[in-house]
A and B are shown apart, each in its own frame.
Chain A
Amino acid sequence: MTGKQIADELSRSRLEDGAEADPIEHEGKRGKIVSPKKKRTISSEKILEVEDLHVTFSTYGGTVQAVRGVTFDLYKGETLAIVGESGCGKSVTSNAIMGLVEQPPGKITSKGVYFKSKNLAKLSKKEMRKIQGVDISMIFQDPMTALNPTLTIGEQLTEGVKQHKKLSNAEAKQRAIEMLALVGIPNPDERMKQYAHQFSGGMRQRIVIAIALICEPELLIADEPTTALDVTIQAQILELFEEIQIKTGVSIILITHDLGVVAKIADRIAVMYAGKIIETGTKREIFYTPQHPYTRGLLNSVPRLDLTGGELKPIDGTPPDLFSPPSGCPFAARCPFAMEVCQAVYPDTTEKSETHRVDCWLQDSRAQKLIDEGAFAR
């Protein structure tokens, strides 16, 4: 997605909040916009609480600390986006929640991963299988490889419900056809007998979504669901997510590096860097008042069509080596505002608002004084 689209999305959601939207402005942007007509309801009930999640992998080269203490929670019906660049631990976090990290070589430690007050971290593999695909489902990045080439779409759709919900063949088939219709596959009856290679990329991702939703999960983890798709198909899939959330009230964790996707469907955003969540907040807080220099850097490196002139500002440098992560702030080496303390000690979490939290030394009152004195004049 381009910056223009982000701007569009933001201006749209702004319009939705306040005055009525100008219908002319919406027309023709990408055909018919299936924007949420019904307001989604986010309840105050927490569906997932992750506390201090660590994931390490032992390799021949040493131990990689992929996730280093991630804490977040998710409310029922909410969409949380976890954003960050490649290798920051987004996917590992989702795999760890889902119980898909092979142990060994992986090792997961946490103070608890509570799904509806059931600690997933304590479950055996067998108990976890009763949750996987039933209560929590996952959508994978590349629909080209996520579907088994030698099994029919129908079998891949129905095997889950048959095993978990003990449905008969006919019932499972009926359910699968309904799901295919829900995700917008024409002629679902015939399509059931076909194989993955007989579908286009967008269609396959719809099927993957249908498979994920067939057991009516309460939590959907989407790991870069649109990354492998064309921009036009991306928009369709995101609209499908919105539609599904309205229809089923499912909570979504969206893992992505694409801020355009985030702007479209996220309620809250968690920004990850080097295995830590460095800033979380509502979509508005992150896009309009980003506090962490890294978040600002990320936003600056998105191309925008509405801002003319000037060059894209990429973030210089590379993320730290996770074999031996720095003791201080991991972004310090790339941060234009780095102070001595940043190198040495990891900052405490500052609460900017009830929803907005940031781990940065610049939030410290002593740093604020420096800023006021103009120490960081750009």
Chain B
Amino acid sequence: MALYIFKRFWMMLATIFIIATLTFFLMHAVPGSPLEAERTTNETIQANLEKFYKLDQPLHIQYFDYMKSIATFDFGPSIKDPNRTVNELLERGFPISFELGIITILVAVISGILLGTMAALRHNKMIDYAAMAFAVIGISIPNFVLATLLIQQLAVTWGIFPPATWKSPMHMVLPVLALATGPMAIIARLTRSSMLEVLTQDYIKMARAKGIKPIRIVLRHALRNALMPVVTIMGTLLAGILTGTFVIEKIFAIPGMGKYFVDSINNRDYPVIMGTTVFYSAFLIFMLFLVDIVYGLLDPRIKLHKKEGDV
């Protein structure tokens, strides 16, 4: 196991390196620079600014400087907002984005599995049809549309929940709902179909022939096998939720990382782009790593490591 984690660690580092490199060159390929503004500045000032931010250096020098900043995890100050360093932005934004993301994932996974399992157990009955109709709607409506609908109905018209910001659990309901509905619907549909398949398997029939209680058959015998495909798509869903947070944070005025990330690209704020991109990708890669670990825990046939003497 340790060996596996060690190997994966180097793989993750390599991935981050590639992402950082690609981001750097793509970023510089985009026309414009952080110092360009509507107002025309004096050429000497412009040159001095470029010199200060080392933008006058050849690209490969700048590249090495960036790599150094990533390695030391010190991205320096933002160009647009020199009073703040990128690290400060991350420190302030990440906990909020993380909170939003994790709550969303938990809500999506738990309710999705619950809904899917219930639908499968009541196959072709009312609950099944209702759950699947709900799931189709959930998949079809983009999160930003859902977000505005929720704000309009639940916040503005009925005034149950606050429409924006991120202060109390009540504030969290709408953004989490908007962000979790899509992934939840996907998980529910997947759980249902995979559960239906598992329930026809011989080992379920055998468990029934053993007179095992139905609740135990579902939870212990069926669910674990049925969750395999769900874990498989968790990687994709995580990436979806992560990008979803950009939009949702913007709509609900949540002061997370997403806002800085989007703004930094518009401003060509090189240090912020690099910082947020590398941070996001590192986080996503780490989550995917966790998914793989969970996969191995769920299915004993999947070996993450080779022990000596194993067949």
Contacts and interface: CB of A to CB of B under 8 A. Distances in A.
B300 A129 contact: no
Majority SS at the chain A contact face: mixed
Interface string A124-158: 00001111111001101110011111111000000
A149 B228 CA distance: 12
Contact of A149 (B205, B206, B213, B301): B301
Contacts of B212: 129, 133, 159-160, 163
Interface string A319-331: 0000000000000
B66 to A, nearest CB: 46
Majority SS at the chain B contact face: helix
B279 to A, nearest CB: 36
Contact of B221 (A148, A152, A208): A148
Given A151-B221, A195-B301, A146 B208 contact: no
Contacts of B206: 138, 140, 146-147, 208, 211
Interface string B189-230: 000000000000111011111111100100011001100000
The listed residue with most B CB atoms (<10 A of its CB), out of A145, A146, A195, A197, is A146
The listed residue with most A CB atoms (<10 A of its CB), out of B203, B213, B225, B311, is B203
A132 B220 contact: no
A336 to B, nearest CB: 38
A146 B221 contact: no
B97 to A, nearest CB: 34
Contact of A100 (B208, B213, B221, B301): B208
B213 A163 contact: yes
A129 B299 CA distance: 28
B298 interface: yes
B209 A138 contact: yes
B199 to A, nearest CB: 10
The listed residue with most A CB atoms (<10 A of its CB), out of B211, B216, B220, B311, is B211
A2 B4 CA distance: 50
A24 to B, nearest CB: 40
B210 A133 contact: yes
B211 A164 contact: yes
Contacts of B225: 148-150
A134 B301 CA distance: 30
A147 B203 CA distance: 5
Contact of B300 (A134, A149, A163): A149
Contacts of B208: 100, 132
Contacts of A133: 209-212
Contacts of B311: 198
Contacts of B301: 149, 195, 197
Given A149-B301, A151-B221, A197-B301, A142 B202 contact: yes
Q: Chain B, interface size: which category?
A: 20 to 34
Nearest to B203: A148
Contacts of B201: 145
Given A138-B206, A145-B202, A208-B206, A150 B211 contact: no
A246 B230 CA distance: 48
A100 B205 contact: yes
A160 B300 contact: no
A129 B211 contact: yes
A98 interface: yes
A160 B210 contact: yes
Interface in B284-302: 298-301
B300 A150 contact: yes
A101 to B, nearest CB: 11
Interface string A101-137: 0000000000000000000000000001111111001
Interface string B68-110: 0000000000000000000000000000000000000000000
Contacts of B202: 140-142, 145-146
A150 B300 CA distance: 6
Interface string A14-27: 00000000000000
Given A145-B202, A148-B225, A151-B220, A197 B300 contact: yes
A134 B211 CA distance: 8
A152 B203 CA distance: 13
A332 to B, nearest CB: 35
Nearest to A211: B210
A49 to B, nearest CB: 21
Interface in A192-220: 195, 197-198, 208, 211
A208 B301 CA distance: 19
Nearest to A197: B301
B211 A140 contact: no
Contacts of B221: 148, 151
B203 A146 contact: yes
A149 B198 CA distance: 11
Given A142-B202, A145-B201, A198-B311, A98 B300 contact: no
27 contacts: A100-B208, A128-B211, A129-B212, A129-B213, A131-B211, A132-B209, A132-B210, A132-B211, A133-B212, A134-B211, A140-B205, A145-B201, A145-B202, A147-B206, A148-B203, A148-B221, A149-B203, A150-B224, A150-B299, A151-B224, A152-B300, A159-B210, A160-B211, A160-B212, A163-B216, A164-B211, A197-B301
The 6 closest A-B pairs by CB, nearest first: A132-B211, A133-B210, A133-B211, A145-B202, A129-B211, A138-B209
Given A151-B224, A159-B210, A164-B211, 10 more contacts: A100-B205, A128-B211, A132-B210, A133-B211, A137-B209, A147-B203, A149-B300, A151-B221, A163-B216, A197-B300
